[in-house]
């Protein structure tokens, strides 16, 4: 195990160094001259398993997922038409298990996934509309490239429900090429979710309770050719986050961790070696400016 961990440890160290150095450089520049038109975020999450929209990717070894993105404010209003933003980012998944460093790939073996995404967000009153393009690539050639366009809609219900706000959202992802489930045809995915939360009085700790339901609108969860399972999964989470006492010029630092409980439909149960339930623990950090 120690021998198999050494290459991915070096890669994780490099990823963390890039994230932190780029964060410090960007944060320093923004602290001096930021006009409020750009925001930068970087960080990494760590786990023992990785499920994408309920589809098993890895559940052995260590999973590390570093990322960074930038969001630019293109328009800011006051009432009604509030904002237009443009985001560009990159996300990765590095594995020590069979899909990564312990697998057959010879080159960049630990580097299981590298995603590029870009899109627009439009704020209208309490509503947030999103349009995003994502290309999912596998540097170690474990899966074929998948490209999709996703539409999302979220609502800020805090003014209506106060401390009991649910922050509901809906998302529809349309595959343009490739298939996340490895099926025969491109599919359409629909997601419904809420994320109530609370702040623990007298402490810096915030809790959230995300609940997500993933569905196949068309050929997204194909258990067999011509057999599409509409119900994909339910994900119930308990997450905690706490800010770190870092000087403001270096950005906002945060630690987070929690657990996700997944209940899988028939197709995803078969993909998960017959297991219809999966618990996933996570922890990570984020630096934002």
pLDDT value at 209 more than 90 = yes
| Residue 175 DSSP SS3 | strand
Reported as a pLDDT band with limits 50, 70 and 90, residue 162 is confident
pLDDT in tens, 86-129: 999 999 999 999 999 888 776 788 999 999 999 999 999 999 99
pLDDT at 23: 53
Domains in the chain, start-ordered, CATH in brackets?
A: 2-288 (2.40.160.40)
pLDDT value at 20 more than 60 = no
pLDDT at 8: 45
- C-beta of residue 145 within 8 angstroms of C-beta of residue 114: no
Q: 148 Cβ partners below 8 Å, 6+ apart? A: 133, 134, 136, 173, 174, 175, 176
Burial class from Cβ neighbours inside 10 Å (0-12, 13-18, 19+) for residue 87 reads middle
- Which span out of 1-5, 31-35, 158-162, 219-223 was modeled with the highest average pLDDT? 219-223
pLDDT at 34: 47
């Amino acid at each position: 195990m120690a021998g198999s961990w050494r290459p991915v440890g070096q890669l994780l160290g490099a990823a963390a160094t890039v994230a932190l150095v780029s964060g410090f450089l960007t944060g320093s520049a923004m602290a001096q001259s930021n006009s409020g038109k750009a925001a930068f975020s970087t960080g990494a999450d760590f786990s023992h398993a990785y499920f994408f929209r309920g589809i098993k990717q890895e559940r052995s070894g260590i999973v590390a997922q570093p990322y960074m993105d930038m969001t630019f404010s293109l328009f800011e209003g006051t009432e009604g038409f509030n904002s237009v933003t443009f985001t560009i980012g990159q996300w990765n998944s590095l594995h020590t298990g069979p899909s990564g460093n312990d697998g057959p790939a010879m080159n960049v073996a630990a580097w299981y996934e590298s995603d590029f995404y870009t899109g627009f967000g439009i704020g209208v009153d309490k509503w947030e509309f999103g349009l995003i393009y994502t290309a999912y690539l596998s540097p170690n050639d474990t899966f074929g490239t998948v490209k999709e366009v996703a539409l999302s809609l979220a609502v800020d219900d805090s003014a209506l429900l106060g401390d009991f706000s649910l922050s509901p959202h809906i998302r529809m992802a349309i595959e343009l090429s490739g298939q996340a489930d490895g099926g025969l045809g491109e599919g359409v995915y629909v997601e419904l979710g809420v994320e109530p939360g609370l702040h623990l009085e007298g402490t810096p700790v915030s809790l959230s309770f995300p609940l997500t339901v993933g569905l196949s609108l068309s050929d997204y969860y194909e258990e067999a050719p011509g057999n599409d399972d509409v119900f994909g999964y339910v994900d119930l989470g308990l997450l905690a986050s706490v800010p770190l006492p870092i000087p403001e010029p270096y950005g906002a630092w945060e630690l987070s961790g929690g657990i996700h409980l997944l209940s899988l439909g028939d197709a995803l149960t078969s993909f998960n070696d017959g297991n219809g339930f999966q618990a996933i623990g996570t922890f990570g950090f984020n630096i934002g400016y």
